[in-house]
Amino acid sequence: MNQTRRSFLTLTAASAVALSAVPAAAQEAPVFSTFFGGAIRGYDPVAYFTEGRPVEGSGDFQSEWNGATWSFANAENKALFDADPEAYAPQYGGYCAWAVSQGYTASVDPNAWRIVDDKLYLNYSADIQSRWEQDIPGHIELANGHWPTLIQ
């Protein structure tokens, strides 16, 4: 029994070391999605631009793009997204813009958002968004430098 437990602990420790050798970012998907594949936690990316607020999408209006399922409030928003997803999809794959500026990824709260220069940025929470808003241009510049390597 002791030998089995020791082997298990050794294997567990070796696995932890092996996993820590792989940067966490290398394991990230290009788009932050919920467990079931929903981008922006099921919120409509187009509504941020057309309605100026977060709006929950519907299972009746969905598209697959960049490895994630995107939901929309209506057929018009779905059509706009399908015609030009890059124009409506959040920056940094929908991961927290502040976290990406710091060199890592984090999930988002669809209510912590901002459009800057016609691009949608999401943040982990209202508190984190306040940090991001202290230097939006600086954080965007940092995030733009970090982003390509975070999903490789």
- Stated pTM of the model: 0.80
Residue 52: both structure tokens together: 């100026």
Q: Which residue has the tokens 């794959």?
A: 93
Q: Kindly report each contact of residues 38-41 with a partner whose C-beta sits within 8 Å and lies 24 or more positions away, as own/partner.
A: 38/68, 38/69, 38/71, 39/68, 39/69, 39/70, 39/71, 39/89, 39/94, 40/70, 40/71, 40/90, 40/94, 40/108, 40/110, 40/122, 41/108, 41/110
32 contacts 66 by C-beta, under 8 angstroms? no
pLDDT of residue 34: 78
CA distances from 74 to 8, 24, 46, 61 (A): 52, 36, 10, 6
Q: Tell me, what's the pLDDT at 47?
A: 98
Q: Which two tokens stand for residue 139?
A: 């954080």
For 152, what's the count of Cα atoms within 13 Å in the CB-facing half-sphere? 4
Mean pLDDT per 10-residue segment, the chain (152 residues): 45 37 51 82 97 97 95 98 98 97 96 98 98 98 94 78
Distances (CA, A) of 61 to 4, 69, 91: 52, 10, 22
